[in-house]
Amino acid sequence: MQLKFKSFLLALLPGVIVFLFSLLFPILNPILVGLVLGIILGNLFRFHTEFVAFSHQSGNRFLEFSVIFLAFGINYGHLTKLGLESLLFVFLLVLSVLIVTYLLSKKPLNWMIGFGTAICGSSAIAALAPTLDKEKGDTGIAMAVVNLYGMLGMIILPFVLLKLNLEPIKNAMIIGGSLHSVGNVAGSGFMVSDGVGELSVTIKMVRVSLLSFGLLFFNFLAQKGKNLPWRQYFKLPWYIWGFLMITVLVSFVAIPKELSAWIDLIGKLLLTLAMTNIGIQIRFKDLVQSGKKGLTFGLGIWVFQLAFIAVYLMFSGS
């Protein structure tokens, strides 16, 4: 009983501390810091096997519940804010990245990296991860990869685009269509100009709105070739059905701002707790071995995404 209580405390405390620090210092990304702290703790200390098992289960449960709270931030109303041509472009961009990801690799680690690159970084990975038969630590490595490239892109793209002197809509298409998280897009877009920042975030939110479609489509791809009854292709975990129903609900029913802020806060806390416990499962040896391959795949799929956008801009009237 005492060991179970200690395991419970150890599964909660590091993530809670990281989350509280992120409230005091908003510049910190609690999800990434929680992951790094978990990796450090897991490699510095020899935890009891019961705690390691409890931490693994806790990480998965926290991840599943965080997806439910994530759903409240997705509104299909964003799909109406772009013109039909731009909307079709974003849809084809996301679809292409998902298909190329599936064709290039059959590894869950790379699938998560591609899925996060296509849609919305860590949040997309959090939504997909529990549906995959993956290795311990794959989720954390995938999140580390997309966060790394997201941060690099946020810093590099504004300087490149300012040198190219493109039209605002083209800048927004590149930033909003290629960067991994909403924070990356906002940071990069507003460095170029306020107008580009607003357009970039709108384009990014359309990508975020496609998360439900992405989950259904990628689940279909993952089951392909298994000769299952057609219903099995759309057999989803409980939390994905909850996610889908909530996203539809909030698109038609306005959630009060104060309640929405609390829901967002709880969702981030759960995701921070999940990533801290997932980090505890990752060994430095595995991180180096899988991380190298993950970085290579992440770079390749991101370059494809940028190339897709560049070709579209060259041949369109945008």
pLDDT score of 115: 94
Which residues, 6+ apart, have CB-to-CB distance to 261 below 8 Å?
A: none
Cα torsion angle, 193, 199, 200, 202, sign: positive
**pTM for this prediction:** 0.81
CA distance 80 to 173: 16
Cα torsion angle, 42, 48, 52, 54, sign: negative
Q: Structurally, how many domains does the chain consist of?
A: 1
pLDDT score of 301: 96
pLDDT score of 99: 94
pLDDT score of 5: 67
pLDDT score of 234: 60
DSSP letters spanning 71-86 = GGG--GGGGGSS-HHH
Task: State pLDDT tens for residues 27-58.
Answer: 888 888 888 888 888 888 777 777 777 777 88
Tokens 């990508």 belong to residue = 207
CA distance 91 to 163: 28
Task: State pLDDT tens for residues 143-181.
Answer: 888 988 988 898 899 999 989 888 988 999 999 999 988
Q: How far is CA 296 from CA 14, 142, 251, in A?
A: 31, 12, 37
User: What tens-digit pLDDT sequence spans the chain (318 residues)?
Assistant: 565 667 777 778 888 899 999 899 888 888 888 888 888 888 887 777 777 777 778 887 888 888 788 778 776 666 677 778 888 999 999 999 999 999 999 899 999 999 999 998 888 898 888 888 777 778 888 988 898 898 889 889 999 998 988 898 899 999 999 998 888 888 888 888 888 888 888 888 888 888 888 888 888 887 766 665 666 656 667 777 887 788 788 878 888 888 888 988 998 898 888 888 888 877 777 777 777 888 999 999 999 999 999 999 988 765
CA distance 91 to 187: 23
- The answer to whether the CB of 311 falls within 8 A of the CB of 176 is no
pLDDT score of 213: 87
- Domain of 40 in residue numbering reads as 2-315
Tally Cβ neighbours within 10 Å of residue 224: 11
- The answer to whether the CB of 64 falls within 8 A of the CB of 274 is no
pLDDT score of 1: 53
**Two structure tokens written together for 86:** 């731009």
Q: Which amino acid is located at 113 in the chain?
A: I
